[in-house]
Structure 1
Amino acid sequence: MNLKTEANLLKISIFSTIVLAIIGIIFGLLASSSTIIFDSIYGLIDAVMTTLALIVAKLIINSTSKDFVNSRLEKHFTMGFWHLEPIVLGVNGILLISAATYAFINAIDSFLLGGREILFGYAIIITLISIVIELSLGFYIKKANKTINSEFLTLDSISWLISASMSFGYLIAFGFGYFAMNTNLQWITPYIDPTILIIVTILVIPMPLKTVKKALADILLVTPSELKSHVDKVAQNIVNKYGFNSFRAYVARVGRGRQIELYFIVPKSWPPKKLEEWDLLRDEIEKELGKEDPDLWLTIVFTTDFEWAE
């Protein structure tokens, strides 16, 4: 993973979100539109979570460097910071779902109360500005993330596209309302905004669910079946090659980190081996599992006592 690329994209996203949110709040007040104001506050929440994502990304990279061993943080986080990634992703996804759910409930309430009169001109201007910025950033980050493969950027691009889809809904509502003014359809205009918002939120609420599900699986240390199968295959090959009695493998994925514990049961009849020989065997196993991966936390134990592997 290229941290500089990920960090730069997240910084661009944060800056753009804050600027767009400030402009949105101003235009929302001018238009007297609670929808635009809410959308801007939603953006600020997203900016805060993106900032946390950037901090966590830096911590994870720094924790895998040699300099981290002697740092002050290492004394308090000896296991690294991988566990923070799914927490941030989960909270971010839940906040996105919660914000959209709140917008849905708010739209229902507004509809039942007779809608809301707004100044459509100001609303259309800020909506067009929002669509251009949101679509541009959403697709740009998504394209860049094909080579970076960052969960943070995946969620961030989804967030921008969610915002763009909501803005399209607003544009339809505000545009129709603008042209319906001073016509026989003017009585509909107070209901346009809440109706479109209801439709948009129904569509966007499920979008972060996959990310939240994966984050919860990482937090709960659910064993990834694909990774477990790979580890079992490598360990079984080692058992067959060197004649161990058996092995036990414990696997978990925590964010981008992979935590693997392997216990090989050594026959008691084996003659003693030098520590260097065991280390060479560890190196062989590590190479098979991904030696160059800085996000791999690997523990390999050789024992004649089966209870140590349980």
Structure 2
Amino acid sequence: MNQNNYHERRLLKISVYGALFFALMAIIWGVFENSKIILFDGIYSLISVGLSIISLITASFMKEQDFERFPYGKEMIEPIIILGKFLVITILCLFSFFSGFSTILSGGQDVNATSGVLYSLIATVGCFVVYYFLKRKHNNNHSGLVEAESQQWLMDTYLSLAVLAGFLFSFALGYTKFEFLQPYTDPLMVVIVSGYFLKVPITNMGRQIREVLDMKAENKYFELCQEIVDDIEDKYHFHESFLRVSKSGQKLFIEIDFVVSPDAWQPTLSEQDQIREEIVTKMQPISLKKWLNVAFTNDRKWAV
């Protein structure tokens, strides 16, 4: 196991243990205090445990080479798993939204605001610490699975922060003439938080769908590759060039086709390899694994 795989598995395990702790704490606290929003936080964390375990299993599976069944590598599995994770989170948010709305219509429910403030304060600080740790480590690891985990913890942090604000507001209502509104604050928080958080998984699912469908890679990768191809085309006076770049997980698939005019300089096999080496060297700033294919042709139809 190389260092990157070891660190990836270690970070995913930390995420699993952390999510399990907060899930159990929130579910027990939510049941004891009869709070729908705390229960939502706990169920979200519990689902995160299951999703994190899937990520851990996926990371172990992806590190094993299997050229016969996966000739292009297993990187395509990563966006599929991440897509599934955010789909589950979307379903949870939708379910919680309608559940909270239903509770409001039925007259709300009484919740101990003081206890809620204490819980959400502990949860906010704890979730942010785990998020910050994973995010800092991800910058050195460049794992899509670890990044997805850190995004989940960021959502949990915002959720807990929103819950804290809601409980503080509910606590304050108890000292005003609007005390009768207190039973509505808990389900209202569920509606607001789950509705707002829908955009996070939906946005991330869009990114993963692009990778699963093998669509054009993000501009930051494509533009750098295009700049390199343009430089090579000008340097060797090729007639035309075509660039295709797509991303799957931690691998960047790059295909470059140079159209060489029949009347111009024709690179030999060794010269073609030299150009390929030059391209690879210029692409070193891209930290992702690269599947590079560089072809040369006199006939444009083989490049289009």
Q: TM-score, normalised by structure 1?
A: 0.80
Taking the aligned partners of 2:149 and 2:291, their CA distance within structure 1 comes to 27
Taking the aligned partners of 2:111 and 2:277, their CA distance within structure 1 comes to 68
Per the alignment, residue 74 of structure 1 pairs with: 67
Give the aligned residue type for 2:221.
Answer: L
Per the alignment, residue 138 of structure 2 pairs with: 145
Per the alignment, residue 125 of structure 2 pairs with: 132
Give the aligned residue type for 1:237.
Answer: D
Whether the 8 Å contact between 1:82 and 1:257 is mirrored in structure 2 is yes
Give the aligned residue type for 2:222.
Answer: K
Any residues of structure 2 matched to 1:196-275 within 5 Å, and which? 196-224=189-217, 225-268=219-262, 275=269
Give the aligned residue type for 2:236.
Answer: Y
Taking the aligned partners of 2:226 and 2:170, their CA distance within structure 1 comes to 62
Give the aligned residue type for 2:272.
Answer: W
Give the aligned residue type for 1:164.
Answer: T
Question: Please, which of 158, 161, 170 is the counterpart of residue 151 of structure 2?
Answer: 158
Give the paired residue count: 301
Q: Confirm or deny that 1:309 pairs with 2:276.
A: no
Give the aligned residue type for 1:43.
Answer: S
Tell me by how many angstroms 1:31 deviates.
2.4
SS at match of 1:76: coil
Whether the 8 Å contact between 2:16 and 2:49 is mirrored in structure 1 is yes
Tell me by how many angstroms 1:297 deviates.
0.6
Give the aligned residue type for 1:53.
Answer: S
Any residues of structure 2 matched to 1:13-52 within 5 Å, and which? 13-52=15-54
SS at match of 2:68: helix
Taking the aligned partners of 1:268 and 1:48, their CA distance within structure 2 comes to 59
Identity %: 25
Per the alignment, residue 10 of structure 1 pairs with: 12
Whether the 8 Å contact between 1:290 and 1:296 is mirrored in structure 2 is no
CA separation of 1:179 and 1:238: change in aligned 2, threshold 3 A: closer
Q: Gapped runs of 5+ residues in structure 2? A: none
Give the aligned residue type for 1:132.
Answer: V
CA separation of 1:107 and 1:282: change in aligned 2, threshold 3 A: same
Give the aligned residue type for 1:217.
Answer: R
Q: Gapped runs of 5+ residues in structure 1? A: none
Taking the aligned partners of 2:103 and 2:16, their CA distance within structure 1 comes to 31
Per the alignment, residue 109 of structure 1 pairs with: 102
Stretch deviating more after TM superposition (250-259 or 217-226): 217-226
Question: Please, which of 83, 86, 93 is the counterpart of residue 90 of structure 1?
Answer: 83
Question: Please, which of 267, 279, 285 is the counterpart of residue 285 of structure 1?
Answer: 279
CA separation of 1:166 and 1:282: change in aligned 2, threshold 3 A: closer
Tell me by how many angstroms 1:35 deviates.
3.1
CA separation of 1:279 and 1:122: change in aligned 2, threshold 3 A: same
CA separation of 1:278 and 1:171: change in aligned 2, threshold 3 A: closer
Taking the aligned partners of 1:273 and 1:159, their CA distance within structure 2 comes to 51
Taking the aligned partners of 1:58 and 1:216, their CA distance within structure 2 comes to 23
Taking the aligned partners of 2:40 and 2:220, their CA distance within structure 1 comes to 41
Give the aligned residue type for 1:103.
Answer: S
Tell me by how many angstroms 1:120 deviates.
5.5
Tell me by how many angstroms 1:46 deviates.
1.6
Give the aligned residue type for 1:220.
Answer: L
Give the aligned residue type for 2:223.
Answer: S
CA separation of 1:97 and 1:22: change in aligned 2, threshold 3 A: same
CA separation of 1:268 and 1:99: change in aligned 2, threshold 3 A: same
Whether the 8 Å contact between 2:36 and 2:186 is mirrored in structure 1 is no
Stretch deviating more after TM superposition (42-51 or 265-274): 265-274
Tell me by how many angstroms 1:271 deviates.
8.5
- Root mean square deviation, CA, Å: 3.3
Tell me by how many angstroms 1:12 deviates.
0.7
SS at match of 2:231: helix
